[in-house]
Amino acid sequence: MRLIWTFFAGMLLAVIALVVTAPIVAGVGLVAWATRGDLWTVLSGPTYFAVRDDHGRLAGRSVNIAFHPMAVLVPGDPRPQRLLIRLEVATTEFAAATGDGRVRLDVWPVESVGDLRKAPLYTVVVPGRSANLDPEGMMLVERGNGRRSAYALGDGAWLYDADVPVASFVIDAEHRRYAALAQADDDMPLGAVAVLSFASPQRVIRRLLISADDAARGRFLRGSVAMTRPVARLEDAKRRVLEVPLPAGILRMAFVGDDLDLATAEIPAGLKLTELKPWRAKGN
């Protein structure tokens, strides 16, 4: 019996000694670490995969977080800026293929240690099942319905939606441009067929609504968008054109400088183009 009490008394003294000395040792170590200049500012996040039984069915959830330092062009600055990009993708696994998850993008400038202790420069939260960063300076998000959306990493602005492969090409030997086609949404005007977006990795240059004069014809053409591929090609050494082959005919536009020439556009009979502008664009 005496040995048992001796054992517990020794354990109690050891615990008291640990409680008293641990903060002192930790504080001394922290001071020594800081004075050596090795104190780090750390950003982290919970990356995990979890499963559970949901009334006899297996349900899963995954959250993947990755940090990417990148040099990105920011509006108003001709030089690329150093940014730290936190990309989070949260999805429900084993669900229907058409289900959406959530994509979150947080961006910080990286000029000093103090930048990472502040709120992000901006945050973007959108539906999506997967996302990746394009070296040109864009976040590409894939939705459960197969639609892909692009966002500028410089300021988080939405650039385009695409339901079919995007046509891309380089101008001036270094600047890339994109022509993206997306099926018109249900809340668009009667006869709406598709939205054609022309953009750079930093901004939208032009967004056009393709529509039919007849609403029934518009619905038919809208269903054919999935089989359409915009194509950018050179007619000769200097003249570049964009073609959108539709069942009603080929929509054809030439480029003038860094823009589409709407004045000389060749539009199939019964179709029309309407320019879509941001709600808060100057002059509106």
* pLDDT at site 92: 82
- 107's CB contacts (< 8 A; 6+ apart) are 83, 84, 85, 86, 120, 121, 122, 123, 153, 156
What are 35-87's pLDDT values in tens digits? Answer: 444 566 677 778 888 888 878 788 888 899 999 999 998 877 888 999 999 99
Give residue limits of the domains in the chain: 46-156, 157-284
pTM of the model: 0.80
Confidence of residue 8 (pLDDT cuts 50, 70, 90): very low
What are 232-267's pLDDT values in tens digits? Answer: 988 877 788 999 999 999 999 999 888 999 999 999
Q: Mean pLDDT in the chain?
A: 83
Residue 117: which region, alpha, beta or left (left: phi > 0; alpha: psi -120 to 50)? alpha
What are 188-244's pLDDT values in tens digits? Answer: 988 999 999 999 999 999 999 999 999 999 999 999 999 999 999 888 777 889 999
Distance separating alpha carbons of residues 203 and 151, to the nearest angstrom: 9
What dihedral angle (degrees, nearest 10) is formed by the CA atoms of 185, 186, 189, 195?
10
